[in-house]
Amino acid sequence: MLKKSHHTPKTTRGERVLAEVAQAAGLRDLRWHDATLAGTPDLAAPAERVALFFHGCFWHAHEHCSCARVPRTNRPFWERKFEANRARDRRVVAELERKGWRVIALWECGVLDHTVEELAEELRGLLDGGAVYGEIWSYERRPRWQLSC
Ligand SMILES: [Zn+2]
């Protein structure tokens, strides 16, 4: 069962996929948006001390990703914004790790090309392999028109 936090913000489609993946990977007692943790992880599994984030490739400026193109207009503005987002993500990971949490980020592009079962297997593999930090994304390179991100 998923425990909803008291403010229960609406979850996005990506966050719902993340929850399915986490449950399929065997993580239990998942908590949404625990604001007592750095970065308010989308999901946290306190028993295993695993914090999970769903990252939209555009807003989190996923490097080398087909889903993360800098808009043509106002480039300096977007580049500054994306760099700030990336820096914040790095700070959040560092702070969670300092407190003994493991952090896994599921990228939007990873969801496009993989089933929940495949993503869960990858997540389980990262956790069982002792990863302190891990990312799940798509290795597919494909033209923009084939993407739904
Ligand atoms: Zn991506």
Tokens standing for 54?
């769903």
pLDDT, tens digit, 9 for 90 and up, residues 49-102: 999 999 999 999 998 888 888 888 999 999 999 999 999 999 999 999 999 999
Q: In the chain, what are the domains?
A: 13-73+96-139 (3.40.960.10)
* Residue 48 near residue 99 (C-beta atoms within 8 A): no
Residue 140: predicted pLDDT? 66
* Residue 51 near residue 63 (C-beta atoms within 8 A): no
Concatenated DSSP letters for 22-84? HHHTT--S-EE--TTSTT--SEEETTTTEEEEEE-TTTTT-TT-TT-PPPSTTHHHHHHHHHH
Q: 21 CA distance to ligand 1 centroid (A)?
A: 17
DSSP 8-state assignment for residue 146: G
Mean pLDDT over the full length of the chain? 89
Q: 47 CA distance to ligand 1 centroid (A)?
A: 29
Q: 6 CA distance to ligand 1 centroid (A)?
A: 31
pTM (two decimals): 0.87
Q: 121 CA distance to ligand 1 centroid (A)?
A: 19
